[in-house]
Structure 1
C-alpha cells in the first residue's frame, strides 16, 4: 500500500491495485495529517495490532473491507500501523529513477527529521548477510513476520513490477487429511485439518498441487469418507480470503501428512498460504498431530 500526503492536506491511501481506501483507515489518515510533510509518497505495508492477543494480526483485511461508517469502531481493537519500505516522492519531487540506496537514505532522514514514531515504522535494512540470517531465524518467531526481502541497492523503483525477492522461513509440521480435490485414485491437492480443543476436526489449509509420485503415494492410503464426516456441506476457499471454492471429495480423516509451512498463520490457526506436502506419516496417528493453534509437531520418524 501507498500512503501519500500532498497539497491541500489531502491524504491518499492506495492499494497496490489502485483502489483508494483512506476512508477505511481514519486513524492513519489523522496521523498523516499531523506528522507527515506535504508532497510525500511512501511505499509500504499497512499492518494491524490485535490489542487483545497482543500480536500482529491479519485482520488488516477485515479493516480494509470495512466502509467508513464501521471503520471507527475497529480502531481500538485493531489499530493501524504503516511500515515504510520506500519513499517515491519527497517535497513534491519524484524519486523513482534514483537508486534504492539513495531513496533509503532519504527515507531514514525523513524519519529522523520528523521524529516519526508509531503509527510510522521504518522497515529495518542491512547489507550484512550474517545479520540478515539472524533476522530470518529470530524475527520470524513473531506472529505475522514471514521472512525477509532482498533488494539491489542500485535498483530504481519499478512501478507495477516486483523488483525484489522474498525469502520466507519455513518449518515442517503435521496435519490431518480430511478432503482432496481430484479423485481417490488421482488426488490433486489435499485439504488439511487439525482437531480443536473439543476434538472437532477444523480445516487449516490446503496443499499446492501434488507431484505425480506424491499423488500415487497418497492414493494408496485414501479411503472414502463414511456418512457423518464433520465437513459434510462445508465449502473450502481456493485461497485464503477468496470467495472461489474447491471441488472436494471428503475422505476418512485417518491419514497424517507432514507439510512444509511458512509463518503466515491467522489467529484461528489457519494457514494463509498453500502448504507443501512432504510425506505421509504412517508412523503416527491423528492423536499425535498438534491441536488447532498449536505449534510444529509430532516427533520426526
Structure 2
C-alpha cells in the first residue's frame, strides 16, 4: 500500500481557552508543540514525512526514518510535530533554533546534526491504519485508535498528552511555556479530519512590549513599507534587532513612508542610508536590505514568545507610543517564563 499525504488540518486563533461545555460533541485539549508540522507515512517499506507547506522533510531527519520501521507495529499515516529538545536532564525544553538548523542542503551536515540534536516525533492524530482510511471518522475514534497503535512505542516517537478538563488546559497554557511549548489546541471530538481547513482552535501566548523602530523594508510590490524592523536595548546599552512588524494595508504602507521620512538616516549627499538585514537558511537569496531610521520612535507591539534574544514570530502593531523614550525600551520589560521540564510535558 502507499499513502497519499493530505494537507494538514489547521487551527484558528482564539484569545482564551474555549469552554468544552459550549461545544456540541465536546473538546479535547492538547499542548501546542513548537516544531515542524509533519505528516508521517509508513507503508511497511518506506517512510515519508511531508510538511505543512508540502515540502518533503524526509531527508532532513534520517534518525526518524531509521527508527520508524522498528517502532511502529503496522503501516499507518500519522499527523504530528517534529521537535528537538536540548538541556540537561530535568531541565529540557524545546529548541527551535536547533530544530531549524536541521534544514540544510549538505547531507554530511544533516547526518552530523541527526546525531548531535536528534529529533522526536510527537503524534497527535491517526489518518490511516493499515488499509483503513480514517479521515472521515470522528476525532474521538481516531484518537482512541492512535492510543492503541502507539501504546507500546518507544522514544523518539511519542503520543501527545490530552485532557478534557478546561482548568487543566488553562494550567498547561501557563506552565508548559517554560518547556518551550507554544500554547494549547482544542479539538472537537465529533469532527472528521478536514485537510487544509481551520477547524481546530489554538490559544497562544500573547504579550505586549514597547520597541524602537530601526528601519523598514520596501514592500515586494515596490511601493510602501513591507515590514518595519524593531529593536530593544540590552543591559550594555546596545540596540539589538528583535523582529519585524508586517501585515499593513496597501494604503497604510504608502502612508508609513511619508510618516517615517523625517527619521530616515541620510548620508552627506542626502541619500537614504541602507543596512543589510540578518540572513538565515530560510531567506536564501532574498533581498534583506532595509532603510535605516534614527532610533527615536517607539511603538507597542503584540508578541507571543521569545526565542533567545528575538521574538519567535512576526509581531503585530498595537499603537505608536510618543510618550516613551527609545532608551527606555529594554529587555527588562519582557515577561520571564519559569522553567518547566519537557519530560513532564511528554509524560
- Which TM-score tier does this pair reach, normalised by the shorter chain? 0.7 to 0.9
Deviations along 1:111-153, one digit per CA (max 9) or x if unpaired, are: 32x2x3421222222232222222222223433x222222211
- Aligned counterpart, 2:86: 50
Specify which of 43, 48, 58 is matched with residue 22 of structure 1.
Answer: 58
The alpha-carbon deviation at position 7 of structure 1 amounts to 2.1
- Aligned counterpart, 1:277: 317
Deviations along 1:78-130, one digit per CA (max 9) or x if unpaired, are: 22011112011223322111110100111122232x2x342122222223222
- Note if 1:93 corresponds to 2:108: no
- Note if 1:138 corresponds to 2:175: yes
Check the 8 A contact 2:150/2:159 in 1, yes or no: yes
- Note if 1:107 corresponds to 2:146: yes
Cα distance in 2 for partners of 1:98, 1:194 equals 49
Check the 8 A contact 1:226/1:252 in 2, yes or no: no
SS of 1:164's partner is strand
Which structure has more RCO (C-alpha within 8 Å, separation ≥ 6)?
2
- Aligned counterpart, 2:239: 201
Deviations along 1:187-224, one digit per CA (max 9) or x if unpaired, are: 665210123565443322111345789978x9389522
Cα distance in 1 for partners of 2:317, 2:164 equals 34
Deviations along 1:59-93, one digit per CA (max 9) or x if unpaired, are: 32321334433212113432201111201122332
1:96-175 matches, within 5 Å, as 96-112=135-151, 114=152, 116-143=153-180, 145-175=181-211
Check the 8 A contact 2:92/2:179 in 1, yes or no: no
Q: 1:67 to 1:150 in 2, by over 3 A?
A: farther
Cα distance in 1 for partners of 2:156, 2:214 equals 42
Q: 1:4 to 1:235 in 2, by over 3 A?
A: same
After superposing on structure 2, the runs of 4+ consecutive aligned residues of structure 1 that deviate more than 6 Å are 211-216
Q: 1:67 to 1:43 in 2, by over 3 A?
A: farther
The alpha-carbon deviation at position 177 of structure 1 amounts to 0.9
Q: 1:66 to 1:148 in 2, by over 3 A?
A: farther
The alpha-carbon deviation at position 15 of structure 1 amounts to 2.0
Structure 2 stretches lacking a partner, 5+ long: 1-37, 336-347
The alpha-carbon deviation at position 36 of structure 1 amounts to 1.0
The alpha-carbon deviation at position 167 of structure 1 amounts to 2.0
Aligned length: 283
Cα distance in 2 for partners of 1:24, 1:240 equals 14
Structure 1 stretches lacking a partner, 5+ long: none
Give TM-score scaled by structure 2 length: 0.69
Deviations along 1:209-263, one digit per CA (max 9) or x if unpaired, are: 45789978x93895222559xx8431367x9944444674321112232211012
Check the 8 A contact 1:5/1:37 in 2, yes or no: no
Cα distance in 1 for partners of 2:262, 2:155 equals 51
